[in-house]
Amino acid sequence: MLLAPSILAADLADMKTAAEQCRQGGADFIHVDVMDGHFVPNLTIGVPVVQALAACSEVPLEVHLMVSNPERLLEEYLDAGARWLSVHWEAATHLDRLVGQIQKGGAAAGVALNPATPVEVLQDILPRLDFVLLMSVNPGFAGQAFLPYTLDKARRLRSAIERRQLDVTIAMDGGIGIDNIRQVVASGVEMCVAGSAIFASEDPVATMQELKRRAESELV
């Protein structure tokens, strides 16, 4: 199980401390929420901030682009240090081309799906993807409630991946915490993104460790 704390929920004036906490907590990636105020109703982190974070973080960055016209920005985020990079299915006109560009840039390519978008839209492109990021909240903000119906999407995607013997990682993003991470992992998710559950807790490092412990106990 891979854990990717979402930096959006951390103190953005002190990302260096958050990055160090992620290292100490055994995080596999730092999830970076890029929002453009157009595809989603919020504006967050841009290229210079991703560069700054990449420069001070030992933990690799997994960048989630919630932007319209992602083709305009891909190269910049790849250069800024994104090791995994996802674009939204709902924002992409030429998804196959975008996936190829991300992989050519040396990163793992992912497609993010809004809660209401069925996983079946990925049927044909699935073998080309490195990961799928299933949104379990409507993208735009940290700290929202988990939408339980998205677990069924993870189960359907997991069975399609297994049936077709593909090597695609399922990630889930939004509203994941101590109380539901087991359920999330049980539905077939291999990478959990968690923001406020970690950074709004008293001890983010201990919370990361506890999230990993709970997720891994579900797998044994």
Taking the least distance from each CB to Zn ion, the nearer of 192 and 220 is 192
Whether 130 is catalytic:
no
Asked if residue 181 binds ligand DX5 (CB under 6 A), the reply is no
**Is residue 193 within the footprint of ligand DX5 (CB under 6 A)?**
yes
Asked if 201 and 165 count as a contact pair (C-beta separation under 8 A), the reply is no
Q: CA neighbours within 13 Å on the CB side: how many for 170?
A: 25
> Token match 């453009």: residue?
36
Piece in contact with ligand DX5 (CB under 6 A), picked from 20-28, 53-61, 137-145, 147-155: 137-145
Does the protein bind ligand DX5 through residue 31 (CB under 6 A)?
A: yes
204-219 and 15-24 helices, crossing angle to 10°: 40
Single residue of 15, 78, 132, 176 touching ligand DX5 by CB under 6 A: 176
- How far apart are alpha carbons 149 and 65 in whole angstroms? 23
Return the residue of 25, 45, 64, 151 that touches ligand DX5, per CB under 6 A. 64
Neighbours of 5 (CB within 10 A): 29
**Four-residue CA torsion sign, 44, 98, 100, 88:** positive
CA quadruple 186, 134, 76, 17: dihedral positive or negative? negative
Among 196, 201, 204, 212, binds ligand DX5 (CB under 6 A): 196
Angle at 63 between CA 5 and CA 169, to 5 degrees: 75
Q: Which of 96, 167, 173, 203 is catalytic?
A: 173
State both tokens at 23: 């290292």
Name which of residues 95 to 134 contact ligand DX5 (CB under 6 A).
none
Q: Strands 61-66 and 30-35, how do they pair?
A: parallel
Structure-token pair, residue 189: 């998710």
Residue 88 interacts with ligand DX5 (CB under 6 A): yes or no: no
Candidates 3, 53, 64, 99; binder of Zn ion (CB under 5 A) is 64
Residue with tokens 């903000």: 141
Question: Strand, helix or coil at 111?
Answer: strand
105 vs 143, beta carbon nearer ligand DX5: 143
Q: How far is the CB of 44 from ligand DX5 (least distance, A)?
A: 9
Interface with Zn ion in residues 129-188 (CB under 5 A): 173
Choices 96-104, 136-144, 149-157, 163-171 (CB under 6 A): range interacting with ligand DX5: 136-144
Q: Which of 68, 144, 169, 183 is close enough to bind ligand DX5 by CB under 6 A?
A: 144
The answer to whether 167 is a known catalytic residue is no
Q: Which residues bind Zn ion (CB under 5 A)?
A: 33, 64, 173
Catalytic residues: 33, 173
